Structure 1
């Protein structure tokens, strides 16, 4: 069920008593001309007082996570007393400030390998999903944004000016129970973009959520399928998305992915992500395709 975004969604949500109750804040950006994808991803478990996550930048070639241009990902840090997600500074050097609720965010980071200064402005309706089933109060926000600013990486300053996704999630997220899911998005302009996310069941990637912005008109995705071509290493090299939105509009998009990078946001989660150049209604749209597995399911896939 979809509900409107509220200023309260930039704050900690009231948790249940589940120790696995989790709040996440995710901002992404891309620099296609350098083949770079960046994530800001702090994660909080307030019932046990811990925080983890951080900042990662994936380069233009596949390497282990510790060889990526930036892998500043911390584990088991204490949540600072009285932390307010609307204006937070973490010990890692990451600062996130809500300049306008649900609309404008300031993201800064100062670390050994990266200096980052971004302004994130919403560029469309947020897809807000809330659940009344256990865990009570679970929810998710996905929103296309215009990200501007700069990054200094390897002493090279690069301007950032892209369309990219932000998301927020809250609810129970227990380690070791990762389903096989996909998360694909691309943007040609502020009036032409898409998000398509789904689950893998019975050998089929079924789309369960997302949105389509076409000719400046936004609508949720209600059904569809994701088809992939994989290389000898099991990684996705080509992606096709076929979906339908609430307005009855059909989305048919295809893309070729750069070599995949491993993002392990949680113990027991393998996320293979790659920068994708999509063909969206005849337009070039840059974005991502995230191919998410548990370690066991990935191992069985490779053995097969």
Structure 2
């Protein structure tokens, strides 16, 4: 997707980095996959803080039977566990009962294993990249300074849930981000005008205006791919730039068509979301995509199941229809709590 050698995957990118002495410098490794027949989505997410020498790891599995951590199919989180000196991300078991990660082929193939015998839960799978890791151009929101890459993968293995062994064979995406953050990730460093002056394109329903307020730490990330890995898309949505009708531009992502990847044309790609009037989550989406080769794709998606760690913002398993195919993926709908509460209040208002 890029000919820029500066953005190509390097062998050292399978290892941890350290770019500053910022105590909030963070390096994440994130793995996701789904089991559509069971409406299951799964995340493994592990931020490492090299200057604090600690790691926070969490594993969660959701289906359509619960949204918050206490009712999820599985949820486990360990915060700020001490890490050994010079940890090797290519072959590591995370502390305090965490999962094991082993690189099999640089940049392309990895094995992950985890077991919680007390709860009858385990993961044992490989992620094999469908393409080389795609590193985004620097200077594009939301990763202005921190290097970041994503990779579509074929995930194969098993999940044991409440003692039942379930086959995994489908779509997965992994990403990596590293670098100084200057504070907790969602705390904007910008100074802005009052709420009424934060909307770039006023008009339309009040809940949509609240959603596109600038300077709120708002991030939207969506992806979906067919199970033959020939068709799909991935990208960030710039909700802050949306027009009064709700269409929001997309950037830093890809279009996959007929097995060929292209970079999203951020001037011609957009998303329109529709929210459940009671729960507040995205229930339905329309996505129009164009890539740098001029190829286009129209996609429609529906929310199948979801989870919310903090009670605001969600990760959702999405069923997508595109090019006559069914695809699976996610909507990551990231908010700060008070901003989300104002949007939901506007969405529920009856007078």
TM-score where L is the length of structure 2: 0.80
State how far apart, in whole Å, the 1-side matches of 2:271 and 2:187 are: 22
- C-alpha displacement of 1:270: 4.8
The corresponding residue for 2:200 is: none
Counterpart of 2:262 in 1: which secondary structure? Answer: strand
Q: Do the aligned partners of 1:54 and 1:94 also contact (CA within 8 Å) in 2?
A: no
Q: Do the aligned partners of 1:210 and 1:220 also contact (CA within 8 Å) in 2?
A: yes
Counterpart of 1:260 in 2: which secondary structure? Answer: strand
Unaligned stretches of 5+ residues in structure 1: none
- C-alpha displacement of 1:194: 1.2
Q: Do the aligned partners of 2:241 and 2:249 also contact (CA within 8 Å) in 1?
A: no
State how far apart, in whole Å, the 2-side matches of 1:13 and 1:271 are: 29
Query: For residues 161-203 of structure 1, what are the alpha-carbon distances to aligned partners after superposition, in whole Å with 9 as ceiling and x for unaligned?
Result: 0011111111234324262111111111222121121222154
Correspondence for 2:164 among 136, 156, 168: 156
1:109 paired to 2:114: yes
1:75 paired to 2:79: yes
Query: For residues 54-76 of structure 1, what are the alpha-carbon distances to aligned partners after superposition, in whole Å with 9 as ceiling and x for unaligned?
Result: 21111223332122111111112
- Counterparts of 1:15-54 in structure 2 under 5 Å? 15-54=19-58
Q: Do the aligned partners of 2:220 and 2:334 also contact (CA within 8 Å) in 1?
A: yes
- Deviation larger for 1-10 or 252-261: 1-10
Correspondence for 2:265 among 222, 247, 258: 222
1:206 paired to 2:246: no
- Deviation larger for 253-262 or 36-45: 253-262
Correspondence for 2:280 among 223, 234, 247: 234
Unaligned stretches of 5+ residues in structure 2: 189-216, 347-351
State how far apart, in whole Å, the 1-side matches of 2:147 and 2:80 are: 24
Structure in which a larger fraction of residues adopt strand: 1
State how far apart, in whole Å, the 1-side matches of 2:87 and 2:307 are: 32
Rg larger in structure: 2
1:196 paired to 2:196: no
Q: Do the aligned partners of 1:127 and 1:220 also contact (CA within 8 Å) in 2?
A: no
Query: For residues 113-172 of structure 1, what are the alpha-carbon distances to aligned partners after superposition, in whole Å with 9 as ceiling and x for unaligned?
Result: 321101110012422025379x99621111100000001101110000001111111123
In structure 2, the CA distance between the partners of 1:209 and 1:137, relative to structure 1 (3 Å rule), is: closer
The corresponding residue for 1:274 is: 316
Q: Do the aligned partners of 2:305 and 2:318 also contact (CA within 8 Å) in 1?
A: no
